[in-house]
Structures are given as C-alpha cells and as structure tokens.
Amino acid sequence: MKTISSAMREHLDGTTTQLCTCWKISRTDGEVFYLTDNSTDIVFDGDTYNAKDTYDRTAIANDIELTPDNVEMFAVLNSGLFSRSDLENGKFDYAAVEVFVVNYTDPDGFGPIKLKAGWLGQIKPLSKGTGFTTDLLGLADKLSASIETILSPECRADLGDSKCKVAILIDEIERETDYTVGQSVRTRTRTLGVRGVHELLVNGDLSLSIGDSYSLGQGPEGWNSVGGLRVVRISEGYKGLPDYVPAYMESTFNSNQTSQTRDLAVEGITTDDLDGGECWLYFSCFFCPRADGAEPMGARVEILDEEDDVVATVIDETNIAANLAPTEWDGSYFFRVAVVYKGIPSGARKVRTAIIQGDTGPATVDGEWAFAETKIIGLTEDLSSELDFDGKYLLCTQGGTTASSSPDYDQPVGTEITDGSAKFMIMSAWRVPAIVLQGTDRANFRAIVIGDTRGRSNTTWYNSGIVEWTEGANKGRATEMKDVDYEGGENDVYDIELWLPQSEIPVIGDFLMLQAGCDQRRETCRDKFNNVINFRGEPDLPGDDAIESYYAQQ
C-alpha cells in the first residue's frame, strides 16, 4: 500500500490529472542527477529536476516475486546529463535510484507518490552510440542473491579485500596516533608529481604520402640529412604492420644519418624544471635490420646545453640490433628499442636525436624504420600525487604511538624506522604509479612504472593485475590487465594489454596506478604476497572424480 497525501488523492479522483514522473539518481561518488519527463523543469523539495528530453521509461509493475522490477530507462547521451565515458568507466554502477510521481503544478503542495527505489543494474550502450539502457533493480533484488560459499581450489577473495587483507589501499600515517602490530600505513617521502610528457620530434613516424620520395641528401620535414640519405614510403600494411607505415632509408655510403635538434624551452619546459633534476628522457625506435647484419642501424640521442655542447648522452649505438638485444615485434622482422634516461642534468636546454645508417662497404644499403621518437617526462611539485609515496608503504612491527614530528622515512625497502614508541618496516607497495608513453588502441598502450623494479626479475608480476586511471580521459575506470610485456633492461617500460577496451585511447601523459596481479593460486599467495594464512581456497580437497573412483574401487 502506498501512502499519499489527501490533496494528491483528491487530485487522482478528479476527471483530469496533471502528473509527471521524476527520477533521482545518486552515484556512489556523491554526484546526484535529477530527471523528469515533464515538458518543463520541476522544483521539488529544493531540487530542480531537469526536463531535457533525457529518458523514456517502460511501465512499472509491482508484484510479490523476488525478481528485478521490469523498469528500463533509456537516456540520450547528447542530453548533457550523461556522457559515454562516465557510463563506460563505471561511474553509474550501483547508483541509487528513486522514482516518484508529482503534480507538476505544485509538487511540494501535493506531495509525491513513490513508485520505486533501488539500484541501476548493468548499463548497456546502444549499438549506434546514441544512448544506453539499464534495468532498475528493486529493493527485493538483494534478497534473491546467492550467499552460500562454494568451495574451489582457487582463492575466492579479491586481492586487497577484507578477506584477503593484503595492503592495497592504505591510509596515510598520522602523528601522535596509536598503531598495532600488522597495521599498514604510508607516508610521503617526496613532493613530486607528473608535470607532463612532451613529444619532441616532429614527423617522428617517418611516414610520407603514398608514392612520395625524397632525393638523396633530403629527408622528411623537421629532419636534417647528412651524406646522401632518402626516405621512401612503402605500401601500407607492410610485413603485417597495419598501424605503422615503415620508411625505406637508402644511403650511398657508410655512416649516413638524419637528425634533428629541439629546444626544450620552445616545447614549454622551464629551466627550473630542467635544472631541478626531475626530468626524464624517453627514446624509442622501431626498425627492421637485415638478418645477415650487412646494414647496421644505429641511434644517437644527446642532451645539449645552450651552446650546443653535449652534457649527457642517452644512447650512442651504431648497431642497435647487435648491442641492445631489441624486442621483436609480434614475430615480424621489426624490432623495438626503448631507453629511459632518469634525471636530466642541470644546464640541459636542447635534445638532439639522430638515426644512423651504415654498412661494411661502399655498396648501397637500406633499412626500414617505423618510427623514432623522443619524449621528455617532467616531474614537478604536486602534493596530491601518488608519486609522493615513492612506491612504498609502512608495516607496523612494534605497536605504539607515533611521535609529534615525523622521522626520516626516505630510506630503502627493508629498513625499520622508530617513530615515537612504534616501529615500522618500509615495504614495497603492491600498487604503484605509471605514466602512459604511447597508446595503440583502447586496450593496448605502453607505460613506464615509477618507483618499482620487481617486474624486471618477474615478467609476470603485473599479469592479471588492475589498471586504475587517475588522470586523462579514462579517469575513474579500473580494468584487469590481460597481458603485460616487460621491455627489458632497467627502463621499467611495459607494453600492456587490457581485457576490456577503455572509453578512450590512452594518450601520452595519462596517469595510472598498476596493481600487482594475483592468479588466486595458493603458491602465488604464499610466495608472492606472503599471505597464505588468509588464502580462501581448498586445493587439497578431493573432487567428485576422486570420490567416485574410491567407490568404483570398492
């Protein structure tokens, strides 16, 4: 039975009615949306219900069955109230919904007729991209959920939840506060955040229009050619590379190169940032050498001062394939090399990048390049950044009260620090920051991890882990990683493939958090997380086959 006011009852008994439906949608992040199917806005209980052409609803049915209410909402994304990225990023998941009817001539005077209350179900984008549909799950839906525990060989807990207890999301330490053994906290040991990633090279992919070519001694726009070098466009999709159009570099004698020098100030990087020691340089190239080594291909990246004198050399290799053990791309003839130079020295003002072609004799040689690019990663002061925690957290090893002022926690992992009467061990965090260096599509991108080197010795460290976007077009979305390939060396650069496409293609400078992966096996829980005491699986429990085979033997 519904409770309605006497004024509303009298209105319903009349020959005509002046009713409209209102929806109040409250997201879990606290943002609230107000909708109405009336032709004009409705003000009810101090809130304005938007009258844009935002939704149509099906009939609302009430019954005593424990099944989801047969209400479906259709919202037009172009209304301005909902964006596709918010919907695809899960911002409306589990949003609370209230549906009621009011008299649009005097909503507060007549009062509401409450129709339904519940939560949004699965949000399904329409194929044409014009809107989405979702079911409204009623209050009784929770009563129909299965709550029994099903035994399984794998752990039933999620990494970091209340059953697993691995420290993933950790609060900051507080002064003059009591802590007990086993509690996890974290503290800021630096005040640096991401300023941005600057892509320095123009025409870094070396691509030209089909049929175009340069004469000897010329090169693509922005590049200076030395010693008879030309770049010729080859057919699209060459050697199975649909996203890259390689260039054909031809030289008439040894040690030819094409290069360009860029002024960092022109790129918007201030001298204070450069001289602060918190700028990194990232160089990547994609090339195809001959298998017999007859056409060595090299690269040289140098950091220059104001007078063009070299202050640091990032890479200087005349034969990348022979000396740097590059990564083969997807079984093709192309190889990829990535180099990260951490801490550009004071006085740096320019970057010079060269790709080099040479051979062992005077004959004409050639090689193919998909791209060569250089980027600057600038780190500057930003107290809100995850980088401040330097990929570490603190584990309380002796209960007590922290001091009024903080001790120096900027120490290596494994160091025990006394803080007041408490003691804390510095641990490596399971959730670390990273920056996108290149996006391929909505499910594939390359990123550099900041402050964590465990993936170097364990190439599956992040497999089955979680990516959470904290900046960029995908901000707020968390997705499981399908495959993570480590580029090798000491660069901490990874190629990441996600199980689900994101709403937008990741771009250079997007900020994210990478969470170590857990495959739910007991061995992983014991050896990787040292958490087997909280393992929630039964790998030693005999299955149906074992039970049936026993009776068969009898």
The pLDDT > 90 percentage for the chain reads: 30
Q: Is 145 helix (H, G, I), strand (E, B) or coil?
A: coil
pLDDT single digits (tens) 175-197: 999 999 999 999 987 655 555 66
Q: Mind giving me the DSSP string for 404-469?
A: SS-------TT-EEEETTEEEEEEE-SEEEEEEEEEEETTEEEEEESS--HHHH-TTTTTT-EEEE
Residues in the chain: 554
> Which tens digits make up the pLDDT trace of 100-157?
999 999 999 999 999 888 888 777 766 655 567 777 777 777 776 666 778 889 999 9
Q: Which residues pair with 515 in a beta bridge?
A: 431, 466
* Cα–Cα dist 258/300, whole Å: 10
pLDDT value of residue 427: 93
Q: Which residues contact 249 (CB under 8 A, 6 or more apart)?
A: 229, 230, 231, 258, 355, 357, 366, 367, 368, 369
Residue entry with tokens 């005491």: 533
Mean pLDDT of the 431-436 span? 86
Q: What is the DSSP letter of 50?
A: B
In the 8-state DSSP scheme, what is residue 172?
Answer: B
247 pLDDT band, cuts 50/70/90, is very low
CA 60 to chain centre: 39
Which of 60-74, 168-182, 367-381 is modeled with the greatest confidence? Answer: 168-182
Rounded to an integer, the average pLDDT of 257-275 is 80
Asked whether the predicted pLDDT for residue 436 surpasses 90, the reply is no
Distance from C-alpha of 509 to C-alpha of 512, rounded to nearest angstrom: 10
> pLDDT for 521-541, tens place per residue?
999 999 999 999 999 999 998
Determine the pLDDT at residue 166. Answer: 94
Residue 306 has pLDDT above 60, yes or no: yes
Cβ neighbors of 431 (< 8 A, separation 6 or more) are 168, 169, 513, 514, 515, 516
Report the Cα 12 to chain-centroid distance in Å. 53
Give domain limits for the chain. Answer: 6-144, 178-191+382-428, 196-380, 431-534
d(CA 500, CA 253): 49
Distance CA 74, CA 40 (A): 19
Q: Which residue has the higher pLDDT, 44 or 215?
A: 44
Question: Three-state secondary structure along 227-288?
Answer: CCEEEEECCCCHHHCCCCCCEEEEECCCCEEEEEEEECCCCCCCHHHHHCCCEEEEEEEEEE
- Average pLDDT of the chain to the nearest whole number: 76
* Contact call for residues 471 and 454 (beta carbons, < 8 A): no
Question: Residues 390-401: what's their mean pLDDT?
Answer: 93
- pTM for the full predicted model: 0.67
* Amino acid (1-letter code) at residue 199: E
Cα angle: 468, vertex 472, 477; to 5 degrees: 30
For residue 4, what are its two tokens?
């309605």
Two tokens, residue 123: 């949000």
Cα separation, 34 vs 322, whole angstroms: 64
Euclidean distance between CA atoms 498 and 504, whole angstroms: 13
Phi-psi region of 130 (alpha: psi -120 to 50; beta: other; left: phi over 0): alpha
Q: What is the CATH number of domain 431-534?
A: 2.40.10.190
Q: What is the pLDDT of residue 101?
A: 94
Q: How confident is the model at residue 256 (pLDDT cuts 50, 70, 90)?
A: low
Model confidence at 210, pLDDT cuts 50, 70, 90, reads very low
Q: At 424, is the pLDDT very low, low, confident or very high (cuts 50, 70, 90)?
A: very high
The DSSP code sequence of 284-333 is EEEEE--TTSSS-EEEEEEEE-TTS-EEEEEEEES-HHHHS-PEE-TTSS
Rounded CA separation 97/94 (Å): 9
Q: 3-class SS at 128?
A: coil
Residue 85 to residue 303: CA distance in whole angstroms: 39
* Confidence at 407, pLDDT banded by 50, 70, 90: very high
| pLDDT at residue 288 in the model | 67
Q: Residue 70 — pLDDT band, cuts 50, 70, 90?
A: very low
CA distances from 544 to 145, 354, 483, 522 (A): 26, 65, 33, 21
pLDDT at residue 308 greater than cutoff 70: yes
**459, two tokens:** 């190439």
CA-based end-to-end distance of the chain: 62
- CATH among 2.60.120.260, 1.20.1250.20, 3.40.630.30, 1.20.1440.230 for 196-380: 2.60.120.260
Give mean pLDDT, residues 261-289: 78
Res. 364: pLDDT tops 60: no
